[in-house]
Amino acid sequence: MQPIILRSPRYDDQKITLPVEIADLSKPFNGSISSPKGDEYPVTRNIVRLLNGEIPKTTLAQDSNFIPLTAKGYEDFWRKSSIRSISGEDFTMGDEQNLLIEWLQVTPGELVLDLGTSTGLYPRTLFTSQPKARYVAIDLAMPMLREARSRAADEQCHVTWMEANAESLPFFAESVDAITCGGSLNEFYDPLKALFEARRVLRKGGAFFLMYLLEADTFVGKALQKASGIGGIKFWSKRASYKLFEQAGFTVECEKQLGIVQFVLLK
């Protein structure tokens, strides 16, 4: 398996090569990585800490992910039933996982990046389907990353976990084969910047699987979303969201709408 090459967060022209052992969660990996310029980043129990304690601007919604109890309950008590409860349609987490596998069609050796990974549902799903690809998952919140690492270790999934910012990705241009993002677009501090970054690092012809929430069209839904806006959560009409994708240089290849839940495959 080819090692993963990062772009130094401090020096744009410097490479950092990750030891392949970091992704093997059967053995705790502790140490550090660095570029030839000497900028150094700790690795704590297989989690690469590229932020070095410098958390960028976040929304209140993102801030809730730094609470350990949120990370513990996120997947089992929210994620498993969220699409069904939000959309009002009979669509399970398993259906979402099948859609992810079907649309993305990951092949051996590819590098797949998951943005705002939370507890790592998407990379774990894809690893189970295609274990010969390489998976990197990033998030700002260490409690989420620790929970993600624990779940992946239990399922024997090889994933590289990183404390990193989706709005300033530590990858060189066109170095990633596919990108995924499940629900985090609505919470990003600057969604358009995150989309531009995704387009920068994605190779030509690469695919971006994205799940996000649309603007509600009912009075009650609009009121709830307006309240959510206080926490920094953003919602768009389908037309407005597609405009965002176009601005960032993407085209919509596939789409599936379930109430206000929207899935797209961008190219």
Average pLDDT, consecutive stretches of 10 residues, N- to C-terminus, the chain (267 residues): 94 96 95 96 97 82 89 89 87 96 98 97 98 98 97 97 98 98 94 98 98 81 60 89 98 96 97
Q: Which CATH superfamily is 46-266 part of?
A: Vaccinia Virus protein VP39 (3.40.50.150)
User: Rounded to whole angstroms, how far apart are CA atoms 121 and 193?
Assistant: 24
Q: What is the tens place of the pLDDT at every residue in 34-58?
A: 999 999 999 999 999 999 778 888 8
User: Packing angle between helix 121-129 and helix 93-104, nearest 10 degrees?
Assistant: 60
- The b-or-e profile of 9-20 (16+ CB within 10 A means b, else e) is beeeebebebee
Tokens 């079907």, located at residue: 102
Compute the distance between CA of residue 94 and CA of residue 144 in angstroms, rounded to an integer: 21
pLDDT of residue 78: 85
**Distance (Å, whole) CA 71 – CA 64:** 9
pLDDT value for 190: 96
Six-digit token string for 169: 């990705």
The Cα–Cα gap between 203 and 177 comes to 6
- Per DSSP, helices labelled H in 165-218 are 191-201
Residue type, 41: Y
pTM of the model: 0.95
Amino acid at site 176: V
- Which residue do the tokens 């929304």 mark? 59
Per-domain residue ranges of the chain: 46-266
Type of residue at 66:
F
pLDDT at 63: 87
From residue 213, how far is each of 86, 161, 208 by CA, in Å?
Answer: 9, 25, 16
- The rounded distance, in Å, linking the Cα atoms of 179 and 112 is 6
- pLDDT at residue 229, rounded to an integer: 59
